[in-house]
Amino acid sequence: MNFDLNKNKEVIALLGAGSMGTAIIRRFAAGRIILLGDISEKNLERTANELRYSGYTAETCVVNAMEKSSVEAFAEKAASLGDVKYFVDTAGASPNQSSPEHILKLDMVGTGYAVDAFGKVMAKGGAGLIVSSQTGYMFDIPYEVEAEILNTPAEKLMDIEYIKETGFQNSGSAYIIAKRVNHLQAQKAAATTWRERRARINTISPGIIVTPLAYDEFNAAGDAYQGMIDSSAAMRTGSSDEIAEAGAFLLGEHAGFINGTDLLIDGGVIAAIRTGQYKLTVR
C-alpha cells in the first residue's frame, strides 16, 4: 500500500537513531523521507518501524560514525533519495560506559566526518543540527588551541597536543573536550563548506535529559547528577520533547538568521557551576 503519492520529497538524515533525535525530526518529518543511520541494525529497524507505524516514510542505513567512508556513504545515500534539507547528528558515547579514546573518536572525530560529508550534499536552504552537551561549557579550551582545532582536519584532531594531554586523562575530560569541539566544528562549517551550499548548521547543548540511555549514567554517577539537579534553577531534569522543540526551531525557517551558534538548554546547571552554587568534579 502506498501511503504517500507525492514525488520529489525532501530528505531528513538522522545519525544516531535514539529517542532525542527521533523526537526532533518528528516535529517536521511529515511528507518527507527520513533516513536513519546507526551502527545497530536492531535499533534501526525498531526506530524505523515506530516511525512507519506513525505514518512517516523511513529508510535505514547501517553507519559506523567513527569510519569516514561509512559516514560518507550515509551522506551519499541521503542525497540519492532526494534533496537533503535537514541533517541531525546525535551519535555519541556515554562517558561512564566508554574510554576516553572511544569518546574522542566518536563524539569529536566522527562528528567532524559527518559535518564534512553532509557539507557536500546539503540542499540550498537546508539546515543541520549537532546535538552536543552542556559539558561543552564545563571548562574553557585556550583560545590558541581553539584556533588550532578550527584549522585541523577531523582525522587529525586527536594529534593535537592539548587534546592528547587533556582529553585522555579520563572519560569526563574527553567528553567535555569533544562537546566543545562540536561547537567549533559547526562554526567552521557555517563559515566555509556549508556556506558554500547556502545551508545553515548549529549545535544544541542539552543538560540532564531523561532518555533510556541516560539511566545508565544516573546509575553510574547518580550523586553528581543529583547535585546538578538540586543546584539548578529549574530543579528538575529535562525531556526529549523539550529538546525537540528547540531543535525544530533551529532547523526551521524562523531561525534563518541563526548560523554557527550553540543553544544551551540545561535548566541552569552551567549558571550554577559558574557562580559556585555547584562544585564540578571531572572524572
**pLDDT single digits (tens) 139-192:** 889 999 999 999 999 999 999 999 999 999 999 999 999 999 999 999 999 999
pLDDT higher than threshold 80 for residue 138: yes
Q: Which of 49, 62, 23 is nearest to 212 (CA)?
A: 23
C-alpha cell, 188: 567552521
CA distance 157 to 179: 13
Beta bridge partner(s), residue 190 = none
**Could you give all domains of the chain from N- to C-terminal order, each with its CATH number?**
11-210+239-267 (3.40.50.720)
Neighbours of 30 (CB within 10 A): 11
Neighbours of 74 (CB within 10 A): 27
Q: For residue 2, how far is the Cα from the chain centroid?
A: 32
Give pLDDT tens digits for 72-131.
999 999 999 999 999 999 999 988 889 999 999 999 999 999 999 999 999 999 999 999
Nearest-CA neighbor of 221 among 134, 90, 97? 97
Residues forming the active site: 175, 179
DSSP line for 191-260: HTHHHHTT-EEEEEEE-SEE-TTHHHHHHHHHHHHHHHHHHSSS-S-EEHHHHHHHHHHHHSGGGTT--S
pLDDT value at position 73? 98
pLDDT-derived band of residue 4, with 50, 70 and 90 as boundaries?
Answer: confident
Q: Report the DSSP pairing between strands 209-210 and 200-206.
A: unpaired
Q: Phi, psi (5° rounding) for residue 119?
A: -65, -10
**Type of residue numbered 120:** K
Query: What is the structure's pLDDT at 217?
Result: 75
The predicted structure's pLDDT at residue 283: 66
pLDDT at 225: 86
Given a cut of 80, is residue 1 above it in pLDDT?
Answer: no
The pLDDT score that the predictor gives to residue 246 is: 97
User: Does residue 218 have a pLDDT over 90?
Assistant: no
Residue 80 CB neighbour total at 10 angstroms:
11
Band (pLDDT 50/70/90 cuts) for residue 213 is confident
Average pLDDT of the chain is 94
**Does the pLDDT value for residue 6 go beyond 80?**
no
Residue 267: pLDDT band by 50, 70, 90 thresholds? very high
